[in-house]
Amino acid sequence: MELRALRYFVEVVRQQSFTAAAERLFVTQPTISKMMKALEEEIGAPLLLREGRQMMLTDEGRVVYQRGQEVLAAHARLQAELDDIGTLGRGELTIGTPPLGGSLFTPAIAEFKRRYPKIELKLFEQGARGIEAALMAGEIELGGLILPVDAESFDILPIARHPLWLVARRGSRWDDAAQVRLADLAAEHFVFYGESLALNDLVTLACRSAGFAPTIVARSAHWDFMAALVHAGLGIALLPALYCHRLDAAQFTCRPVCEPEMPWEMAVGWRRNGYLSHAARAWLDVARATLPGRGGDDFVYTRSGRAADETAGP
């Protein structure tokens, strides 16, 4: 049953005239007559009966008229909602935010809500590995990832790059050091990252390359809690320099780690060749304008797992 045929029929009933209905719909009267005949043939019964100048609905006609109005109203609502989504008047967007790097997203989240107040923004809080899995499963469209990522699976917008620094309680043997070699931390007790976090793997591999397996006394996904455990005397931690600068220098000693330097690189990622909604594309536009990144460019990763453009600074 064609939507157009229903529209013609309903208008004829409302106007009580084929001619008036044709004028309202900007079509010819023969066009309406032809569509009405086809509709009656499809239903297998007459819909209208003429009694003098008045048109009377048959039993079938009353049902088609009632339901036809509902169908046309539902179609109008559907079109209005689709148009609304297209202009970002409504909709929803779920973004994966890792616990350690979630605060990096705050400027973009605030600006996005200011620009698009009717878009419901949901935050999917997981470690970067969980966010990768959710992106690949289509559960979310955008998420914070720790680099490097699988070049075949994701496109990215880098937003932060900070080296990991040693964090120790003030008064430790590291107070007078300018920087610290990772191998020199072999005898320390570590407040470590949660096992589901990508940084857990990054630091573990770096320690092994430096010739030792870290002695782990506690784990957390939150940098401030890790720092609190360090201050409580449990051990040392390796945190991004971004967060080290927020710690009280009277209570903590923070020093760059060298040999090797361990960069914490955060990016917004999305599934390569996957569908991005209007809201997701709008959020990326906001992110390019508000997050530090590298000049607002998108980076496609090479098979080696390194960014294709290495000329820009962090």
**pLDDT tens digits, residue range 110-131?**
999 999 998 989 999 988 888 9
Residue 80 is predicted with a pLDDT of 61
DSSP assignment of 156-217: EEEEEEEEEEEEEETTSTTTT-S-EEGGGGTTSEEEEE-TTSHHHHHHHHHHHHTT---EEE
Predicted TM-score (pTM) of the model is: 0.69
Confidence of residue 314 (pLDDT cuts 50, 70, 90): very low
Residue 297 is predicted with a pLDDT of 39
d(CA 84, CA 129) in angstroms, rounded, equals 34
The listed CATH number (3.10.129.10, 3.30.300.30, 3.40.190.10, 3.40.50.720) that belongs to domain 91-159+266-300: 3.40.190.10
Q: Is 303's pLDDT higher than 50?
A: no
Comparison of pLDDT for 276 and 252, the residue scoring more: 252
Confidence of residue 293 (pLDDT cuts 50, 70, 90): low
- Residue 3 neighbours by CB distance under 10 Å: 11
What is each CA distance from 238 to 205, 247, 267, in whole angstroms? 14, 13, 20
**pLDDT tens digits, residue range 51-73?**
877 889 999 999 999 998 889 88
Mean pLDDT in residue range 267-294: 88
Comparison of pLDDT for 10 and 1, the residue scoring more: 10
Residues of the chain with CATH 3.40.190.10: 91-159+266-300
Confidence of residue 182 (pLDDT cuts 50, 70, 90): very high
Q: Considering the chain, what is the average pLDDT of its residues?
A: 87
Residues of the chain with CATH 3.40.190.290: 161-263
- Residue 57 neighbours by CB distance under 10 Å: 16
d(CA 210, CA 259) in angstroms, rounded, equals 8
CA torsion 219-225-227-229 (nearest 10°) is -60
DSSP assignment of 60-125: HHHHHHHHHHHHHHHHHHHHHHHHHHHTTSSEEEEEEE-TTTGGGGHHHHHHHHHH-TTEEEEEEE
Give percent above pLDDT 90 in the chain: 60
- Report the topology of domain 3-85: Arc Repressor Mutant, subunit A (1.10.10)
**pLDDT tens digits, residue range 76-116?**
778 766 766 776 877 889 999 998 888 899 999 999 999 99
Residue 248 is predicted with a pLDDT of 96
Q: Which of 271, 302, 305, 267 is nearest to 288 (CA)?
A: 267
**CATH code of the region 161-263:** 3.40.190.290
Q: Is 165's pLDDT higher than 50?
A: yes
Give percent above pLDDT 70 in the chain: 91
Residues of the chain with CATH 1.10.10.10: 3-85
